[in-house]
Amino acid sequence: MAREGSLEAPTRHPLGQEDPDFYNEEAIFNELERVYDICHGCRRCVNLCKSFPTLFDLVDESDTMEVDGVAKKDYWNVIDHCYLCDLCYLTKCPYVPPHEWNVDFPHLMLRAKALGYKQGRTKFRDKVITSTDKLGAFASIPIVANVVNAFNSNEHSRALLETALDIHVDAKLPKYHSNTLSKRTRDHRPDLSKVTASGKTTGKVAIFGTCYGEHNEPHIAEDLIAVFEFNNIPTMVIPDTVCCGMPKLELGDLNSVEKLKNKNMPILARLVDEGWDIISPVPSCTLQFKQELPLMYPDQVRVGKVQQAMFDPFEYLMLRHKAGLLNTEFKNTIGKISYHVACHQRVQRIGMKTRDVLSLIPETEVDTIERCSGHDGTYTFKKEFHDTAMKICRPVVNRVKKAEPDAYTSDCPMAGHHIASGLNDGSEPVHPISLLRQAYGI
């Protein structure tokens, strides 16, 4: 008799995209029906995202009021709402492996998305907005950046963009900088005479800047460098990398994910061999190297090597603090902080390291908000999903309003801006690493 839930720690099976049966439509839909039926009988995930209410409404409105009454074509409605936050797997589902029912809802959705991509279901818009390297390279050209930013902030041009590409007129689009991260750090040289290894940390850090950090908010990585080097951790920005592949993964474009992996891994693995730890300022990119690529390529040595050397910034700082190597001489307080815990940071299973570091600052109160912001990569940009994304964000926004903090923040900079959209009061988020730099007074 099947157990009601599992007491063991959740584990994860490899994605298996190279299996000949991976793209078998009949096998996929049989597995969707099996998992949907389990979800229908449980319903613990109803408050996480739109996928589950969509599924349950389809079941409840069917003739049989069971999954067998739902038309197979409507399965896509559930799939399209999944943005792979992974929270159902980590925080809600009692039937994940090693439970015998073996439910991995996010990776089943990913498999279905990959099938949909192969079948040509993916919109041109989605291919464009997930091509972050090409978009960033073009939009960051001097003069072009100003034109793009002006276009993206004008209500009339945004109305045209919604008509042409189904980019929601109210979605807050990221700004682009012609003075990119690689330009800003071109002449930076880390002082390797200060390297102090401790425990899991080698004491010298290479930053995977990310396409977002390169083109949209390069100051975050600059603040990261300042904070780490203030703590005697020599830090550099890795040149010549490309997108981590997470946007294409969420699209189901696994071939593009592989191409991007093949460009990044030789660079990153060489740095690991040279004794560098690797850090990304965006949780989704960190998760891509910590979890998703290792599950796609479990037997590739380079992938495993990079996985072991990849850290969240505040995870790294707390490891240094435990070794007595973190500077806790803060010059400034940062007051009351509303801290949104990003989904892709939560599922790294590292605990609330950002909260822990910020709490070291005297006279600082950190109010943690463990709810999805609803931004979720490109989900909120899409005309058909934006209103849902804002609804998902509403509990987070309400918590921030109620707290009346001195600042609000999220490790995911895009989530921070999404919260700002919900607040709609002219305020802007401050990234946690920028708050830490402010507290140090550097």
Tell me the per-residue pLDDT of 363-400, one tens digit each, with 9 for 90 and over. 999 999 999 998 888 999 999 999 999 999 999 999 99
- What pLDDT was estimated at residue 194? 81
- Which secondary-structure segment (H or E) carries 398? helix 386-403
Which parts of the chain register pLDDT below 70? 1-6
Closest CA to 82 of 150, 120, 35, 128: 35
Residue 132 carries which DSSP code? H
Helix axes 132-139, 144-152, angle to 10 degrees: 110
pLDDT tens, position by position, 129-171: 999 999 999 999 999 999 999 999 999 999 999 999 999 999 9
CA dist 274 and 18 (Å) reads 31
- What pLDDT was estimated at residue 126? 94
Per-residue burial over 93-108, b = 16 or more CB atoms within 10 Å of its CB, e = otherwise: bbbbbebebebbbbbb
- What pLDDT was estimated at residue 50? 92
For 415, other C-beta atoms within 10 Å of its C-beta total: 28
